Structures are given as C-alpha cells and as structure tokens.
A and B are shown apart, each in its own frame.
Chain A
Amino acid sequence: AERSIPVAKQKYVPTSGTYPKGFLAGSAYAGVKESNKSYDDIALVVSEKPCPAAAVTTKNIFKAAPVHFCRKALKSSNEGYQGVVVNSGCANAVTGELGFQHAAMMAEAADKCFHQDTQTLVMSTGVIGQRLPIDKITNAIPKAYQALGSTHDHWLNAAKAICTTDTFPKLLSRSFTLPGSQHEGKEYRIAGMTKGAGMIHPNMG
C-alpha cells in the first residue's frame, strides 16, 4: 500500500530544495518485500561524472554483505565512483557467500547503466538473514537509472525508496558560500538523504 506521512511529521519533509550540480537521483519498484506491491524500493544517487567518495560503516561484527563490499571497494580506491545503489526491504545481512555475490551484482547492474569503468557503492536495508530477490533488484536498477533526474521530486522519491519502517522521507539540501578568497563568489550545494527509525544506535567508523 502507498505509505502516507503522519500529519505530525509532514513538517520535516521539504517541499523544495537546492541540489548539488552534477548529481542525479532516481528510484524504481522491485518488490523486494513480498508485501510491497506498489512503492519504489530501489534508489540510485549518482554523479554525472565519476567522483571521489568516502564512507563510514557499522562496527558491528556481523557486517552485512553490502557493507563489506563498500569497505573493500573504498579501500582499493577513493576515486572514480559513480554513486550508490540502495535497496530497501531486505538487508542482505548474514546471507553467506551468496550475499556477497548479490551485493556485487547490484553494483555491476548499476555500473552497466553508465557504460563506463566506474564503481557504484551498494547499500541494503531491511530484514536480516534473508537472501535478496536479486533478479527483481537487478531488473529494477536500469529502471531507476532511466528515472534519474535532478529535481526535488527525484531526490524526494529516492529518499522515500530507501525507507523501511520510517514514517517520512529524510531529505535535506542547502547552498553555502565560503569566505576564503579562492572560493569568493562561488556558491556550493550540499544535499543528503538518510533513513532509519529502529535498530538505531550507530557506531560507525
């Protein structure tokens, strides 16, 4: 069913935004959870040109496959990243060797969309201990790529697609200037989305 935002939380959802140049966001429906028949559960946030990236990840001993995937990728290089592909509905955690393969397949499916030798990071969120319905996901990733755009709605839809038990999408954007002479007159932007409502006591590094 379509997820409605409680009245009390609607004030936290932006109705417009100012988003960083050269970044795009998109979402698509995969149906990762059997019960999800309608809402997007795949998100893609990418830079038009490959760029540097960094990540902090959980220190939990039972790191999920996508966490291992990101750590390994970023350990080998911090540059040449296209962006990140995310699925909600299944965490791909404690899923054995197949889980690692699935995380790599998600990245590969996203990489293929860009026809470049780039790298896409992977995130998953949802139930622990279940295998990803990987075909549904890899089929949906090109659709998320097709849906990429730079408008507020694109960003907001991507923020919605990463939600699990969240009652509202969490999206912020801001523009800023810097006082340093090298940046005089230039305006920069920063945007971010986050998700989380339960199992929240992060300890990332």
Chain B
Amino acid sequence: TLLGIVCTDAKIEAASMYSLLQSATERSFNCISIDGDTSTNDTVAFFANGAAASDDTPPLQNSDDYREDTAAFVKVFHTFMCDLAKLVVRDGEGATKFVTINVTSDVSMATAKRAATSIARSALVKTALYGKDANWGRILCAIGYAPGIMDSLEVPSESPDHTQSAPPQISPDRTSLSFIPSDGSEELKLLVRGEPETVDEARAKAILEMEDLEIVVKLDDDGVDSGLTGTSDRASKRHKVTVWTCDLSHEYVTINGDYRT
C-alpha cells in the first residue's frame, strides 16, 4: 500500500487543492510501479494551513505563482510529489535498481503512458534488469502488447465478418530504444528505428551494474529533431511520459512468500 501525507504552510483555498493534488499525483505517484499491484488503501492527503502567510496575503491560487502548470508553486509542488514518489520506488521490496523510463510519442500522452507502464510492469523486463542483462527484446515486447495499444490495432467494423485497422499508435520502424547510464556517459543505443544496434555487452553490463538506470523509448523517431524542446510542429506534438520502477529479485518472492494474512 502507498500512503502519503503532504503539509504546507502556504495559504491555498480548499476549493483548488484537489485539482492541484490530482494533477501532481497523475505525474508522480500514479507514475510509479513496483510490482504492478494496486492496493485497496492507497491514499495521499494534502493539508495547507496558511500559517506562514499573513492574514492579508491572498490565497496562492489567486496569484501568478499558481495559475498554470509552469507557475512557481505548482512546480515546487509537482517536484516535491515526484521526489516523494521516487523514494517509494527506491524501497521497492527486494529491489536493487531504480529505473526511470522515459517514453515519447507523437500520437498521444496516453500512448506514451501505456508503453511506459507496460515496461514497468513486465516481470521479464524487471528480472532482466536484476540480472544485469540489456534485454531490449523484452522491453519491446512489453510495449507491443501494452493494453490500449494492442487493443486499438483491430477495431471491429460494422460487418461481424471483418475487422478494420485503426491508425497504429506505434510503428516498429519509428521505435528507438536506449539506456542512459547514470554516470553521465554516452547513451547506449540498443535499437534505432526498428533496427538492432550492435551492443557492446561489456559496456551494457557495466551500465546495468549501477543502481540507477534510465531507459529511453522513442515511439516517434523518424531520425530528425529528436529533442523535446523547440517550436517545430513536430516538437509541439511530442508527448513525454516518465514512469519509475525497480527490478524484480528473489528477495521480492521471499518477502511476499512470508507475508501472512
């Protein structure tokens, strides 16, 4: 179960607290996965008592520090929630690795999230990470069967005898995959636009020896403008989702095999 309690002495009106919390949760606690199981008790509560604000200070939501996603307080709050959520992943039962999964898509945020979540939930990906194996095949496989991605490929037509193809959310020949080492060294490209790279196994192993790992998946790689910034039409259509997860070890089974009701 996940529980969270967040308190601030800033002054925020009750009416706007839920939307702030919901928005931050969507990008923090709702973007972590340890074992793929959703608890019956998960709750994050947020309190704002205004004790650091004077009586004549207006509530934050009436200020420029609050109104947009990029506003100062919203950024503070979102970052704080992400940092709390990441601590949970650091303590995943039996975990030895902290894994950041970044997925970009030019189709939709939902597509990116589905792919990222499917990777984060895959037992085979997670055991490969535990075994320090750069098994990108398992990662691709997890993307390919992601609920909502696979299901959308075939939509029943009006005729019960036929199916028609919906526009694909993912094209294998536009999919690229890399590991980003946590020591700041060069990324290790594993797959570029559907074509496997020749992988230096020794380097892959060295990267996977580190506690932290970043997996980058581009579902929209056509070989140009790979940045997320910029004003191009392409950049404006790109959606990026970050999900945090951990590996799956023997210890996880030991802990949960011992846990009793």
Q: Do A and B come from one complex?
A: yes
**Which A residues are closer than 8 A to B by beta carbons?**
9, 12, 19-23, 45, 47-49, 51-60, 62-64, 66-67, 70, 74, 77-79, 81, 83-84, 86, 91-94, 121, 123-130, 162, 164-168, 170, 172, 174, 176, 178-180, 182-183, 186-205
Alpha-carbon distance between A83 and B1 when the two chains are bound, in angstroms: 20
B145 within 8 A of A: no
| Shortest distance from the beta carbon of A181 to any chain B beta carbon, whole Å | 8
Would you list 21 pairs from A and B whose C-beta atoms are within 8 A, ordered by A residue?
A: A12-B90, A12-B91, A53-B17, A56-B43, A58-B40, A58-B41, A64-B41, A67-B43, A91-B41, A126-B1, A166-B91, A178-B63, A186-B52, A188-B53, A189-B9, A193-B4, A194-B88, A195-B4, A201-B33, A202-B25, A204-B44
The distance in angstroms between the C-alpha atoms of A64 and B33, with both chains bound, is: 20
Say yes or no: A51 contacts B43, CB within 8 Å.
Answer: no
Let me know if B2 and A192 touch, CB within 8 A: no
B49 CB, min distance to chain A CBs, angstroms: 4
CB 8 Å contact bits of B42-74 with A (1 = contact, 0 = none): 111111111111100110100111000000110
Number of interface residues of B (CB under 8 A): 74
| Chain B binding surface SS class | mixed
Contact B91 A192 (CB under 8 A): no
Nearest Cβ distance between residue A149 and chain B, in whole angstroms?
Answer: 14
Say whether B4 contacts A182, CB under 8 Å: no
Among candidates B15, B20, B43, residue contacting A204 with C-beta atoms closer than 8 Å:
B43
- CB-contact partner of B41 in A19, A49, A93, under 8 A: A93
Q: Which residues of the other chain, B, contact A51 by a CB distance below 8 angstroms? A: 47-50
With A52-B17, A194-B85 in contact, is A201–B1 under 8 Å at CB?
no
6 closest Cβ pairs, A-B complex: A22-B51, A52-B14, A78-B14, A54-B17, A200-B34, A51-B49
Judged by a CB distance under 8 angstroms, whether B30 is at the interface is: yes
Which chain A residue lies CB-closest to B12? A52
CA distance A71 to B189 in the complex (A): 46
Binary interface profile of B, 17-48, with partner A (CB < 8 Å = 1, else 0)?
11011100100011011111111111111111
Beyond the given pairs A183-B65, A198-B252, 4 more chain A to chain B contacts, judged by CB atoms under 8 angstroms and listed by A's residue number, are A81-B47, A176-B73, A192-B4, A202-B42
B3 within 8 A of A: yes
How far is A51 from B260 in the complex, measured between Cα atoms in Å?
Answer: 38
Question: With A22-B51, A125-B1, A200-B32 known to touch, is A55 a contact of B38 (CB < 8 Å)?
Answer: no
